[in-house]
Amino acid sequence: MRVTQSAALPWRRLSDGGIAMLLVTSRRTRRWIIPKGHIERGMTAAASAAKEALEEAGVTGRIGGKVGTFDYDKLLTSGAARRLRVSVFPLEVVEELDEWEEQALRERAWFAPEEAAAATAEPELQAIIRRFAAQLVV
């Protein structure tokens, strides 16, 4: 299976030295996910992930190198499912906008890393979140 999507894992450092992760809800099922989408033609996977973070979560920042991949089943409008592979790139959030493109379609919320992992449905994504958070804690 080839990588067909890229995703941003938005995070920020807290004043107490801890970190928080930003999740958004999916448009249809309202599950907690990270901003993701198909890699846009002419863009790198990382740049496409940063664009998704801006559109879906209203955040901008510094995109990092790939921290993992996960697979998930995307529900199609026909009711069928398609298996997709997603490359995940951390995005250190620099700016959180008050208004953004998909704000009427999604909720966004900051979570402690373990809460973020537990809120997502994909075990591989949960592992990526936990592993990345452990690297940031010094």
Indicate the residue type of 22. L
Both tokens of 99, joined, read 């208004």
Choose, from 40, 55, 96, 102, the residue flagged as catalytic. 55
Q: Parallel, antiparallel, or unpaired for β 3-13 and 81-96?
A: parallel
* CB burial string 13-50: b at 16+ within 10 A, e below: eeeeeebbbbbbbbeeeeebbbbbbebeeeeebbebbb
Does the pLDDT at position 3 exceed 80?
Answer: no
Residue 80 burial (CB < 10 Å; 0-12/13-18/19+)?
exposed
pLDDT band of residue 138 (cuts 50, 70, 90) is: low
Digit-coded pLDDT (tens) for 67-124: 999 998 887 778 788 889 999 999 999 999 999 999 999 999 999 999 999 999 999 9
- Report pLDDT for 78: 83
Query: What is the topology classification, in CATH, of domain 3-136?
Result: Nucleoside Triphosphate Pyrophosphohydrolase (3.90.79)
Residue 4 — pLDDT band, cuts 50, 70, 90? Answer: confident
How confident is the model over 47-56, as a mean pLDDT? 98
Give the per-residue pLDDT at 79. Answer: 78
CB burial class (10 A; 0-12, 13-18, 19+) of residue 132?
buried
Domain boundaries, the chain: 3-136
**Per-residue pLDDT at 61:** 98
Which is more confidently placed, 27 or 138? 27
CB burial of 54-79 (b: ≥16 within 10 Å; e: otherwise) equals bbbbbbbbebbeeebbbebeeeeeee
Q: Is 55 a catalytic residue?
A: yes
